[in-house]
Amino acid sequence: MKKLLLAPSIIAADFTHLADEIAACESAGADWLHMDIMDGHFVPTITVGPLFVEACKHATNLPLDVHLMIEYPEKYLEAFAGAGANSITVHVETCPDLPQIINKIKSLGCKAGVTLNPATPASSLDAVLPLVDLVLVMSVQPGFSGQSFMPEMIGKVEEIRNKLDALRSTAYLEVDGGISAETLPLMLKAGADVFVTGSAAFKHPQGVGEGIRVLRNVIARSER
């Protein structure tokens, strides 16, 4: 039984106290730091790039889970790997030659992930499911934290869980968007094992440490 992991999404953090926020995530027991890279083209928002990833690398030992919401991700794989990414996840919608990109990410020494927008069918991943280390299912439209969870994505998680199990894949099945104390159990039951959380963690009234502790308790209570 795989350990169930929590990956706080750092773009929801208070950037004026970034190192403190990262330390609070670590001491509260976060497993990864999820880093949302956005270019203003694939998604409307512009966030951060390799320099930010490098800064976070110096501030934590947590694995950096880089989520590329950018056009032409193949142009930036070396930069993010060099900045310290532990995993690099690309959108199927931005990769005409997905197997080639997945293999390139692996050649750089990073775990290779693939993700898909809510409107993109799970079948779009079939060619690379045997290759990837991670599948990320978006349960919101990419581009912003704080959006409402899309319950129709639960079925997609179940579908991809079944595909991965049929392949006897050890890939992580990560979910991202609107994950909270209420929605995490639904995605856990559907077969997810890594939970990205932005607002539910960082916007908790008692701070991100408490936000993470709450979600860790939800996981403990819901284990399949």
**How many C-beta neighbours within 10 Å does residue 131 have?**
16
Q: Is 133 a catalytic residue?
A: no
C-beta closer to ligand DX5: residue 40 or 99: 40
Task: Return the residue matching tokens 């979910």.
Answer: 175
The question of whether 176 is a catalytic residue gets the answer yes
Binding site for ligand DX5 (CB under 6 A): 9, 11-12, 34, 36, 67, 69, 140, 142-143, 145-147, 176-179, 196-200
- Look at residue 140 and give the partner it binds from ligand DX5, Zn ion, none, a contact being a CB closer than 5 to 8 Å depending on partner kind: ligand DX5
Beta carbon of residue 168, minimum distance to Zn ion (angstroms, whole number): 27
CA terminus-to-terminus distance, the chain: 9
Give the closest residue to 70 by CA, choosing from 37, 45, 102: 37
Which H or E run includes 24? Answer: helix 18-27
Which of ligand DX5, Zn ion, none is residue 197 near (CB under 5 to 8 Å by kind)?
A: ligand DX5
Instruction: Looking at 39-176, list the stretches that DSSP marks H as alpha helix, in order from N- to C-terminal side.
Output: 50-59, 77-83, 98-107, 154-166
Catalytic residue among 36, 65, 133, 193: 36
* Element at 212 (helix H, strand E): helix 208-222
Indicate the residue whose CB is closest to ligand DX5. Answer: 198
**Looking at 30, 64, 67, 81, which residue binds Zn ion (CB under 5 A)?**
67
**Residues annotated as catalytic (active site), given as ranges:** 36, 176
Residues lying near Zn ion in the complex (CB under 5 A):
36, 67, 176
